[in-house]
């Protein structure tokens, strides 16, 4: 979640508008700081976890 906030991924999605569907690769293309070739795949996993909170388990250490 920290990476999503730091990269302003949610802001990017909001700026595109509610009627537009974006692929993770399209979101990454709009982020100027990202140079990692695996960024789209990593972002896809992060967004999947946000969309499916019942599949995410938090553990206390």
pLDDT at 61 over 70: no
Reported as a single tens digit per residue, the pLDDT across 2-51 is: 888 888 999 999 999 888 889 999 999 998 888 899 999 999 999 988 88
Count the alpha carbons within 13 Å of 29 in the hemisphere toward its beta carbon.
Answer: 6
Using only the alpha carbons of the chain, give its radius of gyration. Answer: 12
> Which pLDDT score, from 0 to 100, does residue 55 have?
64
Residue 27 exposed, middle or buried by CB count within 10 Å (0-12, 13-18, 19+) = buried
CA separation for the pair 16, 27 (Å, rounded): 10
Say what the pLDDT of residue 23 is: 93
pLDDT of residue 42: 94
């Amino acid at each position: 979640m920290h990476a999503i906030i730091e990269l302003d991924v949610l802001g990017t999605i909001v700026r595109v508008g509610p009627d537009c569907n974006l692929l993770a690769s399209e979101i990454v293309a709009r982020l100027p700081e990202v140079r990692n070739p695996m960024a789209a795949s990593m972002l896809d996993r992060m967004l999947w976890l946000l969309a499916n909170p019942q599949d995410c388990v938090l553990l206390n250490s």
